A and B are shown apart, each in its own frame.
Chain A
Amino acid sequence: MNARERILAKLRGSLEGTTPIADDYDTALVTTPWTYAPAQRVARLRAQLEAVHGETQLTTSAEWPARVFAALAERNIDELLVSPLTLHGQQLAAQLALNKGGLRLKAYDRAVETWKDELFFHTPASLTGTLGGIAATGSLIVWPTVQEPRLMSLVPPLHIALLKASAVFDNLHEAMHTQRWSEGLPTNALLISGPSKTADIQQTLAYGAHGPKELIVLILQDA
């Protein structure tokens, strides 16, 4: 017998004569305390995100590119990592062309190994979409894709995320159930609740540990 067989045999031997405990999942317990009136949902999400230094802005599906330009200008950032293959990437590029702005758009269009140094040290900001939000905990649901890979929401010091107000769920259970996560998760799925932080030095909270120092969530009220 190998280690696997021995471990499983020991566990089976210990359970001999017992019956597995039935699944009495209490959905109400993980949803009812975390349910919000439609008008409160986005407000809750914003409050939770802002409590952990996330910045949120209410905007619209037409107006949001201007908010991106303003946020970057405010920080003297002239380069943005954004996918040209997404609808929001194309909208931003079109708006930028119209404005004749000086912002450079950079695409994450090749394997990370080929441009690690640039990604890690010369990419000040990124913009990604989200799959939704969770009001209870102020979380963004992010499923990295080929267009918007995993590190886009992690490495640049400023992460700007687009969130459709209609995709804000009350709680994790509702999001998971409605979006049928258990039927097929991507290789990496994330919940992001604020910029990176740590309290490892004498319980003093500091932001920008290893991930983004700032997270700006643009909430599209009409989408």
Chain B
Amino acid sequence: MPNFAALTEAPIEFKRNARAALADGQLRRNFRGAMDFLMVKRAAQFADDEECEQLRAFGNRVRARALSRLPALLEQLEARLTRNGVQVHWAESVDEANTIVHSIVAAHEAKNLIKGKSMVSEEMEMNHFLGERGVDCLESDMGEFIVQLRAEKPSHIIMPAIHLNVGQVAALFHDKLEVDYTEDVDLLIQIGRETLRRKFFEADIGVSGVNFAVAETGTLVLVENEGNGRMSTTVPPVHIAVTGIEKVVEKLRDVVPLLSLLTRSATGQPITTYVNMISGPRQADELDGPREVHLVLLDNGRTQAFADSELRQTLNCIRCGACMNHCPVYTRIGGHAYGTVYPGPIGKIMTPHMLGLEKTRELPSASSLCGACGEVCPVKIPIPSLLRRLREEAARRADAAPHHVRGQGANHSTKEGLVWKAWVKMNTSPTLYRLLTYAGTRARGLTPANIGPWTEHHAAPKLAPRTLHERVREHLGEA
């Protein structure tokens, strides 16, 4: 079982997790099939390359514009929501966010929470936090419901149970819900529907995430296919939405390009079944909807990413998951191996800000830098460049200024530092360069045959018998 970052202090052992995942044939088949399916679906939605490229560039500008005025937009969002009757809370850490949620729960003496899909609530470990305090949180998204029944974490941000096949779900339902074993997906979904339907109206509080928070109108936009998001935000008397501070957009019309990019990139749909725009609690004359709506705005490392104009681009993310669907590493190892709430390429550039580089030191290197993630990102986050940047932050001395990322220097090695210093010295001094290359070529027989991981699969490199300078001179007849 991969170790999970948020619950332990130890660094995530990505390499160990990845090795275990690679040896799991069933897991690899499940992911290969799922990723191929999602890539084909996305490609079909972006049949016109030019439209795709223009829209991605536009999406990038819309997000960059929002971030360029983020503090003002957050204040505007808060003012509009407050005017609409929504209560806005701010949290710097997940502990603060959980405490806020718990205080709302306590004020209502709530015992049962029903949750629409929310990655920020996963980031908060909300179920765990409230569970310890005797409050039951039930996931209502079919995929989340399945992983919760297995006491697992989502392995994908859009399709949480993507690591499982139908046989595994059938066995799970048979075992946990005591229903007859069936591999008929329609029947399995109906079992989930019946089980959860009663839970929706028994719940004291509904919890959801937010896809876009519109500052102009004070509107929380949620997209989904199942209807569980609408149920969770409509049926219980109280609705708590949790979201990161970066999710705000300036105007309602800004949702148009982002919504199109999101649904087409995520699941290859022109639009999701439901686009749910919530601007306030139930009014006095209305007959349904929550009487109280809360929004919790969470920082949890986002202000750190925001502080640097290059790393800030991480916050463009609209959580579509296309980067993981197209990632050759993710496809082979699945989401759990990353040990983080956000797996795959976006997780590797986001999580270091949330947990620090000490715990996530192996993540920025868990990539071949093939560039696929950057090419499909709907808001053009330069993920490979940001991975390279984080590698640099992890390798710099811990005390080097300026200090951008918590855990800077986590991978710093004095030996490696000395090697590079020597390399610089050699390449900036012609005498030393000639001397060392001469010595190296003459002593080529002495180079080691075993140089760690490289020689496990490759022949050991050997210097040429003569230096390039010597050969050029010879070629020009000057020797």
Whether a CB of chain A sits under 8 angstroms from the CB of B459 is: no
B residues in contact with A10, CB < 8 Å: 299, 303, 306-307
Q: How many A-B residue pairs have CB under 8 A?
A: 257
> Are B65 and A26 touching (Cβ within 8 A)?
no
Q: A14-B308, A151-B288, A185-B217 are in contact. List 16 more A-B contacts (CB 8 A).
A: A2-B90, A7-B297, A23-B65, A26-B257, A111-B288, A120-B201, A144-B289, A177-B253, A189-B279, A192-B274, A199-B267, A202-B33, A209-B225, A210-B231, A211-B231, A212-B227
Min CB–CB distance A124 → chain B (angstroms): 14
> Are A197 and B256 touching (Cβ within 8 A)?
no
A residues in contact with B192, CB < 8 Å: 209
Q: Which of A30, A117, A202 contacts B260 (CB 8 A)?
A: A30
A-B contact pairs, 24 of them (CB 8 A): A3-B96, A3-B299, A7-B90, A11-B306, A22-B65, A23-B251, A26-B257, A111-B287, A139-B275, A182-B252, A185-B219, A189-B277, A192-B274, A193-B273, A193-B274, A196-B274, A197-B225, A200-B159, A200-B161, A201-B161, A209-B192, A209-B227, A210-B196, A211-B226
> Are A154 and B234 touching (Cβ within 8 A)?
yes
Whether a CB of chain B sits under 8 angstroms from the CB of A146 is: yes
Q: Which of B72, B190, B279, B308 contacts A187 (CB 8 A)?
A: B279
Question: Knowing A182-B216, A199-B159, A209-B142 touch, does A150 contact B234 (C-beta < 8 A)?
Answer: yes
List A residues 1-39 near B (Cβ within 8 Å): 2-4, 6-8, 10-15, 18-26, 29-30, 33
| Central interface residue in B217, B274, B282, by most chain A CB within 10 Å | B274
Whether a CB of chain A sits under 8 angstroms from the CB of B425 is: no
Closest partner residue, chain B, to A209 (CB atom): B226
Closest partner residue, chain A, to B63 (CB atom): A21
List B residues 140-191 near A (Cβ within 8 Å): 140-143, 146, 159-162, 164-166, 169, 185-186, 188-190
A residues in contact with B283, CB < 8 Å: 187
| Central interface residue in A3, A109, A176, A201, by most chain B CB within 10 Å | A201
Per-residue contact bits, chain B 292-304, to A (CB 8 Å; 1 contact, 0 not):
0000010100010
Q: Which of B48, B161, B201, B245 contacts A116 (CB 8 A)?
A: B201
Chain A residues bordering chain B, tally (CB within 8 A): 80
Per-residue contact bits, chain B 192-213, to A (CB 8 Å; 1 contact, 0 not):
1100111011000000000000
Min CB–CB distance A50 → chain B (angstroms): 13
> Are A211 and B64 touching (Cβ within 8 A)?
no
Per-residue contact bits, chain B 321-338, to A (CB 8 Å; 1 contact, 0 not):
000000000000000000
> Are A18 and B68 touching (Cβ within 8 A)?
yes
> Are A26 and B58 touching (Cβ within 8 A)?
yes
> Are B58 and A201 touching (Cβ within 8 A)?
no
Whether a CB of chain B sits under 8 angstroms from the CB of A69 is: no
B residues in contact with A187, CB < 8 Å: 84, 278-283, 286, 289
| Central interface residue in A20, A196, A209, by most chain B CB within 10 Å | A209
Q: How many angstroms from the CA of A120 to the CA of B234 in the assembled complex?
A: 13
> Are A196 and B227 touching (Cβ within 8 A)?
yes
Q: How many angstroms from the CA of A212 to the CA of B227 in the assembled complex?
A: 8
Whether a CB of chain B sits under 8 angstroms from the CB of A203 is: yes
> Are B197 and A120 touching (Cβ within 8 A)?
yes
Q: How many angstroms from the CA of A148 to the CA of B185 in the assembled complex?
A: 33
Q: How many angstroms from the CA of A36 to the CA of B146 in the assembled complex?
A: 42
A residues in contact with B237, CB < 8 Å: 113
> Are B286 and A137 touching (Cβ within 8 A)?
no
A residues in contact with B245, CB < 8 Å: 7, 11
Closest partner residue, chain A, to B116 (CB atom): A210
Q: What interface size band does chain B fall in?
A: 35 or more
A residues in contact with B69, CB < 8 Å: 20-21
> Are A7 and B270 touching (Cβ within 8 A)?
no
> Are B225 and A198 touching (Cβ within 8 A)?
yes
Q: Shortest 10 CB-CB distances between A and B: which pairs?
A: A211-B227, A200-B143, A209-B226, A210-B227, A191-B275, A4-B90, A137-B271, A196-B227, A200-B142, A112-B288
Whether a CB of chain A sits under 8 angstroms from the CB of B405 is: no
> Are B160 and A14 touching (Cβ within 8 A)?
no
Per-residue contact bits, chain A 146-167, to B (CB 8 Å; 1 contact, 0 not):
1001110010000000000000
Question: Knowing A7-B299, A209-B225 touch, does A200 contact B160 (C-beta < 8 A)?
Answer: yes
List B residues 229-252 near A (Cβ within 8 Å): 230-231, 234-235, 237, 245, 250-252
Question: Knowing A4-B90, A176-B252, A208-B190 touch, does A21 contact B286 (C-beta < 8 A)?
Answer: no
Q: How many angstroms from the CA of A126 to the CA of B271 in the assembled complex?
A: 23
> Are A193 and B159 touching (Cβ within 8 A)?
no
Min CB–CB distance A89 → chain B (angstroms): 15
> Are A211 and B90 touching (Cβ within 8 A)?
no
Whether a CB of chain B sits under 8 angstroms from the CB of A194 is: yes
Whether a CB of chain A sits under 8 angstroms from the CB of B34 is: yes
> Are B279 and A188 touching (Cβ within 8 A)?
yes
Q: How many angstroms from the CA of A52 to the CA of B234 in the assembled complex?
A: 24
Q: Which of A151, A177, A198 contacts B235 (CB 8 A)?
A: A151
> Are A149 and B303 touching (Cβ within 8 A)?
no
Q: How many angstroms from the CA of A14 to the CA of B70 in the assembled complex?
A: 11
Min CB–CB distance A9 → chain B (angstroms): 8
Closest partner residue, chain B, to A53 (CB atom): B273
> Are B71 and A8 touching (Cβ within 8 A)?
yes
Question: Knowing A182-B217, A195-B273 touch, does A173 contact B279 (C-beta < 8 A)?
Answer: no
Per-residue contact bits, chain A 197-221, to B (CB 8 Å; 1 contact, 0 not):
1111111101111111000000000
List B residues 103-155 near A (Cβ within 8 Å): 140-143, 146
> Are B37 and A203 touching (Cβ within 8 A)?
yes
